[in-house]
Structures are given as structure tokens and as C-alpha cells.
Amino acid sequence: MMQLIAGQLINGIIVGSLYGIIALAVSLTSGITGVVNFALGAFMLVGAYLTWHLNETYGVAFPFAVILVMGVVALIGLVADVLLFRHTRNNLINGLIVSIGLVSVIVALVHMTWTSTPQNMQPFVTGVFTVGGVIVPKMKLLMGVVLILIVSMTYLGLTRTWMGRAAYAYAQNPEAAALMGVATGRLQVGVAAFGAALCGLAGSMYATLYSLTPDIGALYMLKGVEGALLAGIGSVIGALFGGILIGVAEGLGSVFLPLAFNDAYGLLMLVLVLLFRPAGLFGRR
């Protein structure tokens, strides 16, 4: 029993890091652009299918496929922001409507291009680690390490570079940031593209571990929003922690309760946290 619990704990941390990267994208884009972009889940979906397609059809090595996919999805996010979301800045309802419409279009295009038949991609790294009787696939461990490194590098970029400090300044006071010389328009577009690239990366990591179906984007977007709100919008490391917390809750919960309850853990934790800390675990008032 203890081995089962330890295995699910490790699995929850690794899967939670995938939730955390989506939560980071949600936190960054909503904090800077003022739009809760539900299309981020669809960007992850595109990233997953493109990675699989490049690898299986054209034989592109997984690391190079990931780089290409991040660039393509970042471009999609940039175009979507310039053509659509730029007109919904700081308007929650309009932004939601536009993002939901974009999700419908992207999912329909995925159905048309790759059908709804589940697709599988060979793992980039095979084999497992066995520690104390707990078996962990090497690819899952690699995925967790990569995603944690990406979140850490994003945090360093936001805290140690001029552009990162400009983003924080804009999030706190847009007018003051503009008066201090911050190119607010380019900042918003850049953050939207970066958030999309993060989702493309998450999709690439997902593709090498799980079966691909056109409905995965909606599920992971829900987990990302839960993780972002649980941590508090604007908290980079907190977004990762929020995602991991949800992943661990699902992993441990599956030991004692049926899998049908998995989607309830994140929502339950979110409600309990927001009752006592409306700004989230790491958010400011």
C-alpha cells in the first residue's frame, strides 16, 4: 500500500507540473492582457498534434520537434492576439466569448486534419527508474524536470531582466508603466505569444506520454485555470505549485476513490482556498 501511495505521489507531482505550465500561461496572459484566454488549452492541443505529426510523419527528432512546435504555436498566439484579443483588452466577457469561439474553430480544424481517432507517439526516452519498489517512467521524470526548469527560468526572467520588471510594473499600474517608457502594446503581444509557446511545450510533453484526442485541451485548460486561481494570478512559482497540488490530490485520491472523482479534487481545493484567501495562496490582495 505504501508503495502504491508513493508511486501516485510521484506521478501526481510530475503530471501536476504539466498542469502548472498551463497555469503559468493563464496567469501571465490574464495578468498582462486582462483576458482569461480559454484558447490556451486549444494551443496545447495543437502543440500535441503537431509534435506527433512531425515525429511520426516526417521523422523529426523529438527535441527539434518541440522547438519547432513552440515557435509555430507562439506565432498562432501572436496572430490571435493581434487580430482578436487586442480588441477585448480588460473586457472579461468579450474576451471569454472570443476565446471560446477560437477554441471551437481550432478543435474543428484538428478533427478535420487528424480525425478523432486516438493517436500515439513513441516516447523519446524509454525505460523506467525503480526506487524502493516504486516504478517511474524515465520520460515522465524528464518531462517533470523540463517543465520545472522552464517555470524557474520564467521566474528568473521576470525578476532579473528589464522586460520582466516592466511586465510586473504594467500588471501593477498600466498607466504608470506607460509613462515610464514601457511599450505596453508590444509587451502584451509578447506575453500572449510566450503564453502560447508554453502551451505548445506542454502539448509536446503530453504527446510523448499519452494518447492524443481532440478533447484534451479543454481538460488541461480547466486544470490550468484551477492551478492559477489556487496560487493567485500573477504568481509564477505559485502557478507551478498550484498545478502540482492538484496533480498530487488526483494521484492520491485515485488510491482511495474511483477515478470518476478526479476532476472534483481541484475544484474542491479551489473553493476551500478562496473562502479563506480570496487572492489565492500566493496572491496579493
Flag the least confident range among 15-24, 49-58, 101-110, 129-138: 129-138
User: What is the rounded average pLDDT of the residues 187-191?
Assistant: 87
CATH of the domain at 21: 1.10.3470
Give the residues across from 135 on adjacent strands.
Answer: 130
Would you place residue 22 in the very low, low, confident or very high pLDDT band (cuts 50, 70, 90)? very high
- Whether 281 is covered by a domain: the verdict is no
- Whether 282 is covered by a domain: the verdict is no
- Whether 187 is covered by a domain: the verdict is yes
Give yes or no for a contact between 278 and 262, defined as CB atoms under 8 angstroms apart: no
- DSSP string across 67-107: HHHHHHHHHHHHHHHHHTGGGGTT-HHHHHHHHHHHHHHHH
Would you place residue 235 in the very low, low, confident or very high pLDDT band (cuts 50, 70, 90)? confident
Give yes or no for a contact between 22 and 231, defined as CB atoms under 8 angstroms apart: no
Task: Give the pLDDT score at 71.
Answer: 96
Task: Give the pLDDT score at 1.
Answer: 66
Domain span including residue 173: 2-276
Is the pTM here over 0.85, yes or no? yes
Number of folded domains that form the chain: 1
- Whether 253 is covered by a domain: the verdict is yes
Burial tier of 280 (Cβ tally within 10 Å: 0-12, 13-18, 19+): buried
Provide CB contacts within 8 A for 166, sequence distance 6+: 177, 182, 187
Flag the least confident range among 56-65, 147-156, 232-241: 232-241
- Computed over every residue of the chain, the mean pLDDT equals 85
Percent of the chain with pLDDT over 70: 97
Residue in the block written with cell 487580430: 83
CA–CA dist 19, 246 (Å, integer): 8
**Residue 211 DSSP label:** -
- Whether 230 is covered by a domain: the verdict is yes
Question: Using one digit for the tens of pLDDT, what is the confidence trace for 73-102?
Answer: 999 999 999 999 888 877 778 888 899 999
Would you place residue 285 in the very low, low, confident or very high pLDDT band (cuts 50, 70, 90)? low
Please tell me which residue, 256 or 193, carries the higher pLDDT value.
Answer: 193
- Number of Cβ within 10 Å of residue 269's Cβ equals 18
